[in-house]
Amino acid sequence: MRSATHGYLGPAGTFTHQALLSLGDLPGEARPYPSVPAALHAVRSGEVGSVLVPIENSVEGGVSATLDALTYGDPLQISAEVVIAVQFDLYVRPGTELSQVRSVVSHPHAIAQCRGWLDAHLPDAVVTEGGSTAAAAVAVAAPGSRFDAAICAPVAGVSQGLVAAATSIADNAGAQTRFVLVGPPGPLPPRTGADKTTLVCFLRVDRSGALLEILEQFATRGVNLCRIESRPTRTTLGSYCFSIDAEGHLDDARLAEAVMGLHRVCSEVVFLGSYPRADGLTPTVAEGQGDEDYTEAAAWLARLRHPERA
Amino acid sequence: MRSATHGYLGPAGTFTHQALLSLGDLPGEARPYPSVPAALHAVRSGEVGSVLVPIENSVEGGVSATLDALTYGDPLQISAEVVIAVQFDLYVRPGTELSQVRSVVSHPHAIAQCRGWLDAHLPDAVVTEGGSTAAAAVAVAAPGSRFDAAICAPVAGVSQGLVAAATSIADNAGAQTRFVLVGPPGPLPPRTGADKTTLVCFLRVDRSGALLEILEQFATRGVNLCRIESRPTRTTLGSYCFSIDAEGHLDDARLAEAVMGLHRVCSEVVFLGSYPRADGLTPTVAEGQGDEDYTEAAAWLARLRHPERA
Amino acid sequence: MRSATHGYLGPAGTFTHQALLSLGDLPGEARPYPSVPAALHAVRSGEVGSVLVPIENSVEGGVSATLDALTYGDPLQISAEVVIAVQFDLYVRPGTELSQVRSVVSHPHAIAQCRGWLDAHLPDAVVTEGGSTAAAAVAVAAPGSRFDAAICAPVAGVSQGLVAAATSIADNAGAQTRFVLVGPPGPLPPRTGADKTTLVCFLRVDRSGALLEILEQFATRGVNLCRIESRPTRTTLGSYCFSIDAEGHLDDARLAEAVMGLHRVCSEVVFLGSYPRADGLTPTVAEGQGDEDYTEAAAWLARLRHPERA
Amino acid sequence: MRSATHGYLGPAGTFTHQALLSLGDLPGEARPYPSVPAALHAVRSGEVGSVLVPIENSVEGGVSATLDALTYGDPLQISAEVVIAVQFDLYVRPGTELSQVRSVVSHPHAIAQCRGWLDAHLPDAVVTEGGSTAAAAVAVAAPGSRFDAAICAPVAGVSQGLVAAATSIADNAGAQTRFVLVGPPGPLPPRTGADKTTLVCFLRVDRSGALLEILEQFATRGVNLCRIESRPTRTTLGSYCFSIDAEGHLDDARLAEAVMGLHRVCSEVVFLGSYPRADGLTPTVAEGQGDEDYTEAAAWLARLRHPERA
């Protein structure tokens, strides 16, 4: 039997951990994994029932490791998304003054998002990239640490007995990260009317204008896109696939027809799930694109094909 | 019981009559009608089982009377098409020389197609428009006729005892006219692989770019168009509908999906039939647009929606 | 020197004559021509300075004779348009009652537009097609006429001493006809901000999707179309050109770029003039499509190409 | 005066260094920079004349740090590109056997590209992410290093006195990285006929279908794209800009018109240079899209606007 355990991109204290907790009372234990590939591997192997991983950041963009690990390998399915505001603070050991900080450690994305603040306030500090913001806090708290400060979330700094030397140091206040809960393929979460569907489309390489053709599959059915990211196909330079979040659920007729259209014109379409939108926004359905319009059109077609049955 | 009689745009001796005869042994009697509306009215009222009417001419374009009479009123359905080469000759009473011709009568379309020849050879002749080329031959043959010559088909001139004063006088050699056999709605002729489907699409007036949207419904499914004609909707100046011949049969999955798409985005779609192409050309089906591709995509969608059933 | 005389599709008393008079005090004499080709030939030969001809009718659609005569032959240019409401009455000789009418004569377009009324009120009358509505009135007024009634404009009936047996008999009340004033190529009428441009585009036959490509040339520059009509190219069945009225003036940057784009992707583009719209409507210019946007973009491009000159 | 010095993403021994050397005899000194932002900052401040940085990798995709640092800040311009094959080897201190390797250090991209090999051959090794592959070699060579092995380029391993314990360990043989030479804005490199142009387009957020509109600006002028990458705009989640490489040079008429079109319909377009393609491929110019076609169309337009001057 598949485990009810949930995994997440750890260690404890990461933003992913914080996002997982925001999902409410999840049954079973929450288990940290050291990397996105490791977390998704744990789902594929059946070690955990599902894992939460970051997929998109308002500053850094798509999380390549997640996008690629979802695309290649045994099928996976997203069943939920969580969006949380990201706050970066500078945590130090008690007694350290900001003016004494000579070395800083953090995850590369966190460093990138605080680059302006670092250049302004700690221009001479040596900045080292580490595996996670939580690990950075651990490293600073370690006895004899070679690092003076960590850029991390409050939960991580506090849990290690550190204190904040500066708060909200990200260059873009209001940064957000989006996480997805990933499990094995299974029944889709019920349609809520405010849903999102994630796909990866591989172009037929011998077709010019193939991206335009993909976008037209959506446009013709009145389906808006929330996100589109190109990713290399890992073959030759300039060969791309496209990771897409589209408005709607696979049980919406317009999205289903668009997805079937993609399946026909692409060399491959990887379906990664339909799930409720974190923002709960109900999209406007264009005229003629509702389920009832599709049903009515199919009935009309049947009458045209067989007027003798009417 | 509906009559097995066939009607056509008469009188006897017209190109339409000639086209009807080319259809082979039709059961029952062939009855001429004085106008396209009259012929189509006879089908709608059940007076005849079907009628043959001209729909398109390589020189004059769409036959407005036919396009409009098919579009408005009780539903009709095209079950076959015939294309014939049009030859215009100048017929006179025996004994009349070409140099003696002072007055010419014919159908306006025939006059238009021979305008260059008339200007060159009979610049001073009075040219009168009549109801048909066959009626023109009748008029010239009538005792005390005020017309010296008729532009008509050989069959019409000869049948009235006239002789040709000049042959093949059309400005465009190789002109063709296309005719359609029209009956009441019924089972579609079986798909042959070389078929054509005729439709009329009414735009939603409050949508700019609506024609582009219609064309994209076809393009997205790889359906080519053979003919597209704008026709006024008979309301305000600048309000148009579009009469369309598309490659394929309503039983082709790609055409069926395109037609359902049109039904959803147009204010009205009038279906006028799927029938074998006169030229027998089998169109190339674009990659991913065959029936088997649609079937396969639907099966794939079903698996995505219900992986637990696989 | 070119004549200042104006011509029109005659005879006197036609709707075209009425439309010409609505243009106000035109210098010189107004000369009727028996057909549209004859009228346009008179311009091409320099016999008259310009002619007014019908181009589009809200019921019958594009006037094929005009569209074709403008397209083929020496270049012509439209400098103005007029739209008038069309009223059809039934005119008879004084003393004739409606119930006594056994034969009716008129122009085929007029007959078509009054078909419903004729079927309802004069179902047994013989209806004959003639060259114009004004000529029909002349024919009815002629001594010993074989016609009892003419469908024509009031001006034509009254001028022939006839009386109305029925008025406003068109099936579509509110029918309108649009006329264009055509002269030789010359300086364009100044841009007014509420202009229209008329073109004919010939597709490159070896390109599928060529109509879509034409429409995209307009769409990409935010240019709306007022009218699009397919016309056969007079070669093979299914070969079409497109007669187009687009919003805007050739001096509008967006229209100029679209027209140059058409010139590049079409086998031929026939420019037929930019002129003020009869309805005076000023179109909404899409964001980024104003003249100043084009000017600014060109200046920006120049700076990119030659930053050293900035 | 601006320095003739060249910079690159260092330290010495990186693939970027190797790519710089492949550019041939560059005047002046080659100076390493610790990060892409630092390298581009050095150009912006005038400290160096140009720098070489990686922009795209066939396995990892666009290099976010480069794409973003080019987009934001004072204008920069790409004047050349270099593409090199990437070979990863595992370097150890002399005497270390592969079976003894317990810890590996390298740049995150290198680790990602060798993940399969690591899982297969060193499943129990601790893998640490460092700042560059060259720095990883330095770290392994350091006395008392806590790392047993570095994944790096041969040049880096050898220069540190290390030896290869395994070669060509990347999961995708044939991986390539593309580098661009970036300087301040200046005269464009001359058009060669085999050129590429790099741009960043920001959408107007209030327009749905804005990406489709961008692609149509290229498609309408027959311009193919080599690369398109979405990047977050650093504002809200789901707000994207698009980094694009298009075929052609800003001095090509079709590309210039497309770029001006983008400037009009986008909220902002950042031009990043036109430069010779590394692969030297001359693209096929679509019918009607050559410079001579644009010149001819402009001359035709001038004649239409002012026929009196012809």
Interval B53-79: pLDDT, tens:
999 887 777 788 899 899 999 999 999
Q: Which amino acid is at A76?
A: L
Chain D contacts of A56, Cβ < 8 Å?
A: 232, 237
Q: How many CB atoms lie within 10 A of CB A80?
A: 17
At CB < 8 Å, which residues of chain D contact C? 77, 185-188, 204, 216-217, 219-221, 250-251, 256-257, 259-261, 263-265, 271, 287-289, 293-294, 296-298, 300-301, 304-308
Average pLDDT over residues C237-243: 82
pLDDT for residue B207 is more than 70:
no
Which of C79, C204, C304, C305 has the most D C-beta neighbours within 10 Å, making it the best mutation to test the interface with D? C304
Locate the chain C residue with the closest alpha carbon to D301.
C260
Chain D contacts of A58, Cβ < 8 Å?
A: 232, 234-237, 239
Q: Which amino acid is at D112?
A: A
Contact assignment for C250 to D301 by CB distance below 8 Å = yes
CA distance, residue B96 to nearest chain C CA (Å): 26
pLDDT for residue D3 is more than 70:
no
% pLDDT > 90, chain B: 59
Q: In 3D, which of A80, A47, A89 has the Cα closest to residue A198?
A: A80
Q: Are C229 and C65 in contact (CB under 8 A)?
A: no
Question: For residue C261, is it left (φ>0), alpha (ψ between -120 and 50) or beta?
Answer: alpha
Chain A contacts of B195, Cβ < 8 Å?
A: none
Chain B contacts of C64, Cβ < 8 Å?
A: 60-61
Subunits with at least 3 CB pairs below 8 A relative to chain B?
A, C
Q: Is the alpha carbon torsion for C250, C256, C258, C264 positive or negative?
A: positive
Contact assignment for C230 to B61 by CB distance below 8 Å = yes
Locate the chain D residue with the closest alpha carbon to C249.
D305
Locate the chain D residue with the closest alpha carbon to C308.
D186
Q: Is the alpha carbon torsion for B20, B26, B31, B33 positive or negative?
A: negative
pLDDT for residue B271 is more than 70:
yes
Residue C1's pLDDT is 42
Chain B contacts of A294, Cβ < 8 Å?
A: 260, 264
Beta strands in B184-282 (DSSP E): 195-202, 225-232, 240-247, 268-276
Q: Between A59, A219, A237, which is nearest D232 by CB? A: A59
Residue C133's pLDDT is 86
Residue C205's pLDDT is 63
Q: Are A193 and A264 in contact (CB under 8 A)?
A: no
Locate the chain A residue with the closest alpha carbon to B255.
A301
Residue C309's pLDDT is 78
CA distance, residue D205 to nearest chain C CA (Å): 13
% pLDDT > 70, chain D: 97
Query: pLDDT averaged over chain D?
Result: 89
Residue D117's pLDDT is 93
The C-alpha atoms of residue C51 and residue C73 are separated, in whole angstroms, by: 16
At CB < 8 Å, which residues of chain B contact A? 185-188, 204, 216-217, 219-221, 250-251, 256-257, 259-261, 263-265, 271, 287-289, 293-294, 296-298, 300-301, 304-308
Subunits with at least 3 CB pairs below 8 A relative to chain C?
B, D
pLDDT for residue B162 is more than 80:
yes
| B–D touching, 3+ CB–CB pairs within 8 Å | no
Residue D1's pLDDT is 42
Beta strands in C184-283 (DSSP E): 195-202, 225-232, 240-247, 268-276
Residue A208's pLDDT is 53
Which of B127, B237, B243, B285 has the most C C-beta neighbours within 10 Å, making it the best mutation to test the interface with C? B237
Chain D contacts of A217, Cβ < 8 Å?
A: none
Locate the chain D residue with the closest alpha carbon to A173.
D235
Residue B1's pLDDT is 42
pTM of full prediction above 0.90 = no
In this predicted structure, which of B245-259, D115-129, D258-272 has the lowest mean pLDDT?
A: D115-129
Q: Between A131, A216, A234, which is nearest D58 by CB? A: A234
Locate the chain A residue with the closest alpha carbon to D243.
A230
Contact assignment for D304 to C271 by CB distance below 8 Å = yes
| C–D touching, 3+ CB–CB pairs within 8 Å | yes
In this predicted structure, which of A170-174, B267-271, B292-296, C156-160 has the lowest mean pLDDT?
A: A170-174
Residue D229's pLDDT is 83
Average pLDDT over residues B266-270: 94
Locate the chain D residue with the closest alpha carbon to A83.
D237
Give the ipTM of the model, two decimals please: 0.86
Contact assignment for B236 to C58 by CB distance below 8 Å = yes
Chain A contacts of D178, Cβ < 8 Å?
A: 237
Residue C4's pLDDT is 66
The C-alpha atoms of residue B254 and residue B32 are separated, in whole angstroms, by: 38
Average pLDDT over residues C79-86: 92
Identify the three-state secondary structure at position D250.
coil
Locate the chain D residue with the closest alpha carbon to A232.
D61
List, for chain A, all residue ranges whose pLDDT scores fall below the cut of 70.
1-4, 27, 205-208, 310
% pLDDT > 70, chain A: 97
Chain C contacts of B239, Cβ < 8 Å?
A: 58
CA distance, residue A95 to nearest chain D CA (Å): 29
Q: Are D71 and D200 in contact (CB under 8 A)?
A: yes
Q: How many CB atoms lie within 10 A of CB C79?
A: 17
Chain D contacts of C289, Cβ < 8 Å?
A: 264
Q: Between A187, A256, A293, which is nearest B264 by CB? A: A293
Q: In 3D, which of C257, B210, C213 has the Cα closest to residue D220?
A: C213
Q: Which amino acid is at A201?
A: C
Contact assignment for A234 to D131 by CB distance below 8 Å = no
Locate the chain B residue with the closest alpha carbon to A207.
B287
Q: Between B185, B219, B264, which is nearest A289 by CB? A: B264
D158-178 pLDDT tens trace:
989 999 999 999 988 778 899
Alpha-carbon Rg for chain C in angstroms: 23
In this predicted structure, which of B13-17, B201-205, B234-238 has the lowest mean pLDDT?
A: B234-238
Alpha helices in chain D (DSSP H): 15-22, 36-44, 64-71, 108-113, 115-121, 133-141, 154-159, 210-220, 253-265, 291-305
Which of A103, A234, A242, A245 has the most D C-beta neighbours within 10 Å, making it the best mutation to test the interface with D? A234
pLDDT for residue D43 is more than 70:
yes
% pLDDT > 70, chain B: 97
Average pLDDT over residues D266-287: 93
Q: Between D219, D234, D238, which is nearest A226 by CB? A: D238
pLDDT for residue D9 is more than 80:
yes
CA distance, residue D141 to nearest chain A CA (Å): 19
The C-alpha atoms of residue B231 and residue C242 are separated, in whole angstroms, by: 13
In this predicted structure, which of B161-170, B207-216, C216-225 has the lowest mean pLDDT?
A: B207-216
Alpha helices in chain C (DSSP H): 15-22, 36-44, 64-71, 108-113, 115-121, 133-141, 154-159, 210-220, 253-265, 291-305
Average pLDDT over residues D146-165: 92
Contact assignment for D57 to A232 by CB distance below 8 Å = yes
Q: In 3D, which of A102, A131, A60 has the Cα closest to residue D106?
A: A131
CA distance, residue B260 to nearest chain A CA (Å): 5
Q: Between B112, B178, B219, which is nearest C212 by CB? A: B219
pLDDT for residue B117 is more than 90:
yes
Q: In 3D, which of B201, B241, B246, B198 has the Cα closest to residue B223?
A: B246
Average pLDDT over residues C143-171: 92
pLDDT for residue B239 is more than 80:
no
D173-216 pLDDT tens trace:
778 899 999 999 999 999 999 999 999 999 886 445 778 888 99
Q: Which residues pair with C178 in a beta bridge?
A: C56, C83
C16-59 pLDDT tens trace:
988 998 888 776 788 999 888 889 999 999 999 999 999 988 77
The C-alpha atoms of residue C289 and residue C302 are separated, in whole angstroms, by: 19
Which letter does DSSP use for residue B121 in this model? H
Q: Between D58, D219, D237, which is nearest A176 by CB? A: D237
Average pLDDT over residues C287-306: 94
Average pLDDT over residues B141-165: 92
A36 sits in which H/E element: helix A36-44
CA distance, residue A101 to nearest chain D CA (Å): 20
Domains in chain C: ranges and CATH:
89-166 (3.40.190.10), 188-310 (3.30.70.260)
Residue A63's pLDDT is 83
Residue D4's pLDDT is 66
Average pLDDT over residues B114-141: 88
Q: Between A251, A298, A308, which is nearest B305 by CB? A: A251
